[in-house]
Each structure stands twice: as structure tokens, then as C-alpha cells.
């Protein structure tokens, strides 16, 4: 797999760390309740098909990316800087 980093261009997957589903960007309010926090920390849609996850370009520019990816075909269709993305859910 290669990830098209908006800052560095298309780079080998070896340069990136997978940081989990982009739902991590939708952090609940501290008082949102146990269910909201359980959903946030533990529960996942875990889709077989299109997904959106976070990758850290540690061996490149150091940016966090939101990547549109297919979990069945491994095709990567888009990558954006996490700081420009509001909320993680597609």
C-alpha cells in the first residue's frame, strides 16, 4: 500500500503508523456518559469495505492523516490532513 500524503506525495506504507479508526476525532464531551465513552474508546463499526482511518506519517512529515481506504481491496482513495477534517465519521 502507498498513502498519498498531502504534504509529501505518494509514500510507502512503511513510513506510516496506523492509529485506528478516524472516529477517534469525534471525542465525546467529558460528561457525555459511560455509553458514549465506551462507544468511543472500545466499540467499532469495523466495516468490511470502505473505511476511514488515521495514519501518522512518522517517518515523513509527522502529520496525522485521515485516509479513505477499502478494508477488503486495500485500495486507498484519499488522504487529508487530520487538522483540516472536522469529525472522523464519513
CA-based nearest residue to 67, from 18, 30, 28, 29: 18
Binder of residue 78, out of another protein, Zn ion, none (CB less than 5 to 8 A by kind): none
Q: How far is the CB of 75 from another protein (least distance, A)?
A: 10
* Residue among 3, 5, 54, 82 that touches Zn ion (CB under 5 A): 5
Q: Least distance to Zn ion from the beta carbon of 87, Å?
A: 22
Of 69-88, which residues contact another protein (CB under 8 A)? 71-74
Q: What are residue 2's DSSP bridge partners?
A: 12
Neighbours of 49 (CB within 10 A): 8
Largest CA distance in the chain: 41
Amino acid at each position: 500500500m502507498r498513502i498519498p500524503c498531502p504534504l509529501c506525495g505518494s509514500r510507502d506504507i512503511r513510513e506510516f503508523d496506523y492509529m485506528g479508526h478516524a472516529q477517534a476525532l469525534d471525542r465525546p464531551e467529558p460528561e457525555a456518559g459511560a455509553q458514549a465513552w465506551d462507544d468511543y474508546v472500545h466499540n467499532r463499526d469495523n466495516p468490511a469495505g470502505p473505511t476511514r482511518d488515521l495514519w501518522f506519517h512518522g517517518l515523513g512529515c509527522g502529520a496525522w492523516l485521515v485516509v479513505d481506504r477499502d478494508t477488503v481491496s486495500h485500495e486507498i482513495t484519499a488522504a487529508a490532513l487530520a487538522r483540516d477534517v472536522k469529525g472522523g465519521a464519513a
